[in-house]
Structure 1
Amino acid sequence: MGNDHALIITAYNDNQQFSTNDADHDHWSEENCASVAEGGWWYNRCGVSNLNGNFNKTDVKGIWWWFDVDDQGDSSPRLLRFSEMKIYKRCAAHEKWTVFQRRKYGNVDFFRGWDDYVNGFGNRDGDFWLGLEALHELTKGDDMSLEINMMSKDKKDHLSAKYSNFRIAPGSDNYRLYVSGFSGNTFDVLAYNNNQQFSTRDANHDPHPSLNCASVAEAGWWYGVACTFSNLNGNFNKTGDKGIWWWMDIGDDGAVHHDLCCSEMKVYRRT
């Protein structure tokens, strides 16, 4: 036919268990379908598709999909040269964010070394850091935005900082921070950390002339020449410079930092 249409044959495999040549869970009593088809699949009484079949064969043991419907309504298998299976997630807008940092419960120590910050630590259901390498992979397309949500220590103030552009450089550049396009109800303090490399207590990449800012602040962060105006990976049980804080208020004495009880950092792909 001029216009081929793949049949919706996955309905035949729906609700079936997976079978392999050494684990037969199909519904055919006479044979192991996986052995017959030389594949692993959700076989029923064998199947009408075999995308995990033998690449070098052209019969039922090959890669095929029940495909064509002719003018009389008959169908037949079509051998395939390649296949690719993809999944996608349907989600509400608020679920499209990937959280990479959370401070809420205080049960995870964030005063850690370089390897931990590169690889990640904690529990995704609680306090955690996703990892600098994963964060680089997430943001290297140069189309990611950042949102930071925070709560003051007394839980009276809810703060938000959003950045339309957010990217983390590779490990060869010590995961340098690139951030711009601020909006929110607090100060744009990450502008100070922009273009800074990440530092930890055992890997000092900050430009401060004499201090290791990560050791002083008991955290890992993108510290600048005067250390920082934020410290979201600080010590959960401390206040002041070693605690969790964000420079945000203008009072009679100018800008001061507020201690925080909680923070969450997350990224979102704009396109």
Structure 2
Amino acid sequence: MRSRVSSMAAGSSVEWLKSVKAVVLDMCGVLYDSAEGGGQAIAGSAEAVRRLMDSGVTVRFCTNETQNTRERFLQKLRVMGFDISVSHVFSPAPALIHILKERGLRPHLLVHDDLLPEFDGVDMSSPNCVVIGDAADNFSYQNLNEAFRVLIGLEKPLLFSLGQGRYYKETDGLKLDVGVFMKALEYACDVQAEVVGKPSAEFFQTVLSDMKLQPHEVVMIGDDLLNDVGGAQRCGMKGLQVRTGKYRPSDEQHPSVRADAYVDDLAAAVNAILTDH
């Protein structure tokens, strides 16, 4: 039987698991692996989510998925065996749309085609900002240059990025994520993007506010050391890293971000949390 959870350093404690009232779960790399046949549940993850929900622990899902609407994304997960409510899923696009409407902004979009329905009803005439997400094949030179021209033509350039990931894992291997293209536009236009999604503190705070809990009562479980674990820790939450998805052994020796604990997969994490409850 493998170890349930390993601490950051030999001999250190995971006593904090006993005080956890809520768990925030990353999705890709934690619930499912997009590198397996285009999308397959990680062994034991669907049952782990059910056990966690049945235990009375509050559960929310926090994803930087920007290639689908939340509804379409969850349809895919239901086929894999997950029963998740749309209202419990926090993703960048709905959060950004709230910001756009609140600030009277009209975006030029460089996003994935399948995300466009999220922006139905959003005024995009005479853009006064640029929004980029994980546009995948839409990240052509022509499209990037068009976004650059809109941005550089504004008196006060305003760039929003739906996350800032460096790369992710797909069926055919690792792929560049939105953060790489965000940096290109930042450099070209001498502007700093406003990041909506992980690791933004405002994004995590939205999830905490929804649960009506304090950061120290919540643990974030993710496969991305910087965006999941590091982002959560900067908000005062605990960060637990699973050794699935984009995890690499070198993550455990990162010079500036250290998970509060490491665990083989979500099933083992849930075992540890429920055992300590």
Q: Which TM-score bucket, shorter chain as reference?
A: under 0.3
Whose strand proportion is higher, 1 or 2? 1
Whose helix proportion is higher, 1 or 2? 2
With normalisation by structure 1, the TM-score equals 0.23
| Structure having the higher Rg | 1
* Higher RCO, 1 vs 2 (CA within 8 Å, ≥6 residues apart): 2
